[in-house]
Amino acid sequence: MALSVFRFSHPSRVLLGCFGLAAAVLVAGCGRPATATLPADYLLYIGTNQGGAQDSSIFLYRVNAGTGAFTKLSAQLGGASPTYLTLAPNHRFLYAVSETQTFRGAPGGGVSSFAIDPHSGGLKALGQQPSGGASPCYISLDHSGKNALVANYMGGNVSLLPVAADGQLSVPTTDQHTGSGPHKNQNASHAHCLLPDPANKFAFAVNLGTDQVVGYRLDAAASRLTRLPEPAFVAKPGAGPRHLTFHPNGKTAYLINELNSTLTTLAYDAATGHFRELQTVSALPASYTGDNSCADVHVAPNGLFIYASNRGHNSIAVFAIDSSNGTLVPIQDVDTQGKTPRNFALDPSGRLLLVANQNSNNLVSYRVDPFSGLLTPTGQQATVPSPMFVGVVEDFRK
């Protein structure tokens, strides 16, 4: 498969085929994005599927903002299978799930808290709590930083863990989901994502097993989630929704569907905490007929483009966003130079995209053209065992 191909096979893609990259910017809607001043370096925290509690399982790399080159800084004890991480906005703390089915001899997974050394960026373990369910696969913080939000995949439930001022976690409160779907991978509830909305008034749990986005009223001060009476959104049967992300405008969201390899544009009602479907597009080129499952999705910081990862096709799909209604036009597919891109990240400026290829044990970097949204491989790679998550921040070390 070619490293980069333009997608012209569908009638909706003819515009880009005829008018090239300028059309992508016109579709995105608002001319030339502002030019950001780039830092010299970024820090990259990498979660892995490394096994035991005594294995090095969280890795820290420095990434050159200009070249995309990786430099290993440390490999640290991060607990068993820290497959998803989240950093506090003040860079003082990091939180990691342990995607296991037993924790401290009891059924379920775990959540670990770490203090971040401001000089080295390294981690010091603070403590652990049970996640409230088996195989936790996602963790986020609400915007106040006072609560960790966890999705337990095999447990089929979600949890909220209060965060103390010293970064340590309290015991979780959980909410159990029930149901199933028509796909063979939907035999039960499988919560795959839990995150707050931009206003921190609602939180949304994406459930792959039930084809639903479950909404909650979020009371951050009281560390409480209250489920809404009806689902915030119901996807097509068998879609298998996996991750949700919001556009910077707060009015639009995007839902990536693992099982049918699609990406859904949603209008968001911030008053009620519900979504309305605007469009669903394939994350794959029409010519591809092999097996695939989608994984991750991110909107560019400038709000003009969106990126989605395909496992099987092993690609990043690039779409231009129509600023008038948030709908998408596909413009590029880029080979990830590895197998099973479970997770990827854009740097804060939106100029680099970093991919974790789980089954080929490598990280890859791409330059992002801020005007066209297109990706170009930097030629830089790093070897990391079973990388599952990449979190990138500006180098804050003193």
End-to-end Cα spacing for the chain: 43
Q: What is the pLDDT of residue 172?
A: 98
The closest alpha carbon to 2, from 315, 323, 396, 345, belongs to 315
The amino acid present at 227, given as its one-letter code, is: R
Reported as a pLDDT band with limits 50, 70 and 90, residue 21 is very low
The pLDDT-based confidence of 53 (bands split at 50, 70, 90) is low
Mean pLDDT of the chain: 92
For 360, the 3-state DSSP assignment is: helix
25-34, 42-51, 350-359: least confident range:
25-34
- pLDDT value of residue 22: 43
Q: What is the pLDDT of residue 20?
A: 42
Per residue in 310-345, pLDDT (tens digit) is: 999 999 999 999 999 999 999 999 999 999 999 999
pTM: 0.92
Instruction: Give the other-Cβ count within 10 Å of 347's Cβ.
Output: 23
Which pLDDT score, from 0 to 100, does residue 33 have?
55
Kindly report which listed range (14-28, 251-265, 270-284) carries the lowest average pLDDT score: 14-28
Alpha carbon separation from 15 to 11, 27, 278, 373 (Å, rounded) = 8, 9, 20, 16
Look at residue 7 in the predicted model and tell me its pLDDT.
54
293, pLDDT greater than 60 = yes
Instruction: Give the model's pLDDT for residue 397.
Output: 94
